[in-house]
Amino acid sequence: MKPTSRAAALLLWAALYFCSGYVSHQINGPFAATGYIWLPAGVTVAAFMLAPASRWLLLGVAFFVAQMLLGWVEGREAMRMVLFSLDEIGFAAVAVALVRLTGFSTVGLAFVRGLLIAGVICSTASAAFGAGWFKLVMDVPFWPTARIWAAADLVGILIMTPVLAGWSHFRAMRSGGMSRSDFLFGLAAFTALVATTLVIFDGAGLPLLPPGIVFALTYIPLFFITVVTLFWGGRSGSVAVAILASFVLLNTSQGDGPFAESAAHHGRSLLEAQLYLAVAALLTLLINTLKTSREQLHEQSASRQNDMELALAASSQLVYRLDPHSGRIRWSGNLQRALGVPETAFADLDQVLARVHPDDRAQVRSRWLRESDGESRSDLRFRLQLPPGSTTTVLDMSGPLLDGDESVAVIAGAWRLQEPAQLEGRSAA
């Protein structure tokens, strides 16, 4: 990366830290020891996960400057901001460093595992240090402060880190991408997510319903987040969680929505909102991971199938699997290209035998339907009569696969199409 690009990246990370910290403080309102929301925790963890270790020192300095600037803007004590910066940024770096020793990756189950480990270590350690300092200096109760601090950091990591990590891999595609139906279903789910979130968490949307029913309705946005993730992928799912979080936290801090019982329970309502958003973030992460793993398996399978098709076509071969009990045949290879017939025309034993030359038909039938006597089978050359009136010579290489009772379970084999030059050479020999 060029020096100018590195400087721009540092400025961007610092700006994200400052803006998310400012938003967190605005949502929290006045607080003495710790707030209920701290989104910059996710920014620091994401930055350390995505950047090489050689740039961590510069990242740490950028975050430190952003935190000090945030404290100056809000008129907070400088020494307190220094200790807070060293606590939050330092433990984030330590947590990510430990995760990187476990085979960390920014995709798949490894990312979910690494994110959870880093989140737990970072939030727990920073909360213990911060709450201990407040206990010594301000005689603030340790456990209530540590519990809220750890929850704020963990939820911030679960919300922000997947968004930043997911979109760091984004590459615009010139063609292809999702199908039209997937896009429309995802758009409908995203629209429904925004609409239901506004109605449920605005406070004025459901004034006549009992509180229990309103709480039950909070599951509806989770359903639409799941649909968005399934149709649009993990990046869009993480953005949907961030949008849900912004609505929930903002309205709850204003005393609206199911989690805001009253102004006297403001802190508890934000804590309940945190738990709700943590579940939403984890649900999206797991769904995206399972979806991505399944798509990767399909891509690998399709790639192997394509490689086999190309190899069979290049070597003028076809591979088949014959069930002698039902007579059904499954082919690998391009029948249309090799023999000029569709696969449906060679779907069972009778159809294939009908195409075999009458002089060779009994021998081919006997080869496929006779019981195995344990001997090794030599290759069989026979002729196929194909439209329009042509004859193709085929070399069959096959053998039976036996059940536990020594009966034939399936016959697997390959056909190699014989070129005229090959046949003439064998005849001359």
pLDDT at 112: 82
pLDDT surpassing 50 at residue 21: yes
Average pLDDT over residues 26-45: 80
In whole angstroms, what is the distance from residue 31 CA to residue 16 CA?
A: 22
Whether residue 242 contacts residue 228, with contact meaning beta carbons closer than 8 Å, is answered with no
Closest among 200, 180, 199 to 188, alpha carbons compared: 180
Query: Over the stretch 344-397, which tens digit does the pLDDT of each residue have?
Result: 888 898 989 988 989 999 888 888 887 655 566 788 899 988 877 778 889 998
pLDDT at 206: 61
Whether residue 108 contacts residue 293, with contact meaning beta carbons closer than 8 Å, is answered with yes
Q: Does domain 317-428 have CATH number 3.30.750.24?
A: no
Model-level pTM greater than 0.85?
no
pLDDT at 242: 85
* Encoded tokens for 173: 């595609």
Q: Hey, CA dihedral for 218, 219, 223, 226, is it positive or negative?
A: positive
In whole angstroms, what is the distance from residue 294 CA to residue 286 CA?
A: 12
pLDDT at 427: 43
Looking from the CA of 194 toward its CB, the CA atoms found within 13 Å total 7
Query: Over the stretch 289-338, which tens digit does the pLDDT of each residue have?
Result: 777 766 667 767 777 777 777 776 666 788 888 888 888 998 888 888 88
Q: Report residue 173's pLDDT band, with 50, 70 and 90 as the boundaries.
A: very low
Residue 414 sits at φ, ψ, to 5 deg, of -140, 145
Query: CA distances (Å), 51 to each of 6, 47, 130, 363, in order?
Result: 10, 6, 26, 68
pLDDT at 235: 78
pLDDT at 1: 57
For the chain, give the mean pLDDT: 81
Query: Over the stretch 215-267, which tens digit does the pLDDT of each residue have?
Result: 788 889 999 999 998 888 877 888 888 888 888 888 887 877 787 754 445 55
The residues of the chain that CATH labels 3.30.450.20 are: 317-428
pLDDT at 138: 83
